[in-house]
Amino acid sequence: MQEFSPQSDLAHRFRNYVILLDRLLREVEEELQENRAARNEWSEWNRNWKKVWLYPSEENRQLREIVSVKYRNRLP
Is residue 56 pLDDT above 90, yes or no? no
Burial class (CB in 10 A: 0-12, 13-18, 19+), 72: middle
* 9 in any annotated domain: no
Q: Rounded CA gap, 40 and 21, in Å?
A: 28
Q: Is residue 22 part of a domain?
A: no
Neighbouring CB atoms inside 10 A of 6's CB total 7
Residue 52 lies in a domain: yes
Supply the range of the domain harboring residue 70: 40-76
* Contact in structure between 48 and 63 (CB atoms under 8 Å): yes
Give pLDDT, residue 1.
Answer: 46
What confidence category does residue 4 fall into, taking pLDDT thresholds of 50, 70 and 90?
low
Q: What is the pLDDT of residue 72?
A: 60
Q: The whole model's pTM is what?
A: 0.48
Total number of domains in the chain: 1
Kindly report, residue by residue over 7-53, the tens digit of the pLDDT: 788 888 999 999 999 999 999 999 998 899 888 888 888 888 888 77
